[in-house]
Copies of this chain bind each other. A is one copy, B any other.
Amino acid sequence: MSADDSSVRTQRDRRIEVANAAWRVIVREGLDRTSMRAIAQELGATTGVVTHYFRDKEAMILFALERVFEHVLVDMQAAAQGLTGLARLEKMICIALPLKMSDKDDWKVWVAFLGYSIGREHLVIEHRKRYDLLRQFISQELTNLQTAKLIRADIDITLEANALIALVDGIGTGVVICPDQFSAKQQRYLVQRHINSLSA
């Protein structure tokens, strides 16, 4: 092994390239038609690459999902920097929305995974882990707001975190199916109104 160098292509980098190719195929063809061969072709390589970097198809699929999810979490954290109060929560939630056209593809992958998980309990569990993380994340923010007396004291934090997730999830799938029904402004308005209704 060579020393750490920013100009070398590490093993993880290559895994990400494969996952990105998978991501593109999922968006274009759907998850159940995302075959090893389709991914390899999208990558301009053969299936040898895919099998070399991932134990099996499911490991690769989960890696691709994890990338989408992690991406959102990081963006939420970054967007929250420097903000406080309700505006901070509002900004964070909005990051998860498909406000831009490009965000829609991430939502396509997310929705595809949700559907693909039905009947595959271990995938449902994987998905649940991410919802749990999100809930934990939002609950933390709500707790801070409650401590600062910016939202009402009688609010059930877990319930409200779930409600926010449900709202975002509903809008996300709504945009995937009916892109014309949710403008960026409308999405923001719905989140803003919901959060303001929690205000003290």
Closest to A156 in B: B186
Contacts of A162 in B (CB 8 A): 174, 178, 181-182, 186
- Check if B166 sits within 8 Å of A119, measured CB to CB: no
Whether, in the assembled complex, A72 has its beta carbon less than 8 Å from a beta carbon of chain B, the answer is no
Using a Cβ–Cβ cut-off of 8 Å, how many residues does chain A contribute to the interface with B?
Answer: 49
Whether, in the assembled complex, A93 has its beta carbon less than 8 Å from a beta carbon of chain B, the answer is no
- Check if B169 sits within 8 Å of A165, measured CB to CB: no
- Check if B119 sits within 8 Å of A28, measured CB to CB: yes
- Check if B119 sits within 8 Å of A33, measured CB to CB: yes
Q: A128-B177, A170-B169, A173-B173 are in contact. Are A114 and B115 (CB under 8 A)?
A: yes
**Cross-interface CB contact of A118 among B26, B181, B190, cutoff 8 Å:** B26
- Cα A125 to Cα B150 in complex, Å, equals 43
Whether, in the assembled complex, A103 has its beta carbon less than 8 Å from a beta carbon of chain B, the answer is no
- Check if B177 sits within 8 Å of A170, measured CB to CB: no
**Cross-interface CB contact of A32 among B27, B32, B197, cutoff 8 Å:** B32
**Cross-interface CB contact of A177 among B114, B167, B174, cutoff 8 Å:** B114
- Copies of this chain, whole number: 2
Q: Scan A117-138; emit 1 where CB is below 8 A from any B CB, else 0.
A: 1111000100110011001000
- Cα A122 to Cα B118 in complex, Å, equals 21
- Check if B27 sits within 8 Å of A181, measured CB to CB: no
Within 92-115 of A, Cβ neighbours of B (below 8 Å) are at 108-109, 111-115
Closest chain B CB from A172 CB (angstroms): 8
Q: Scan A158-180; emit 1 where CB is below 8 A from any B CB, else 0.
A: 11001101111111011011100
Closest to A190 in B: B163
Whether, in the assembled complex, A30 has its beta carbon less than 8 Å from a beta carbon of chain B, the answer is yes
20 A-B residue pairings within 8 Å (CB atoms): A26-B119, A27-B118, A28-B119, A31-B118, A32-B116, A109-B118, A112-B115, A112-B119, A114-B114, A115-B115, A115-B116, A115-B118, A124-B176, A124-B177, A128-B177, A131-B178, A159-B190, A162-B181, A170-B171, A170-B173
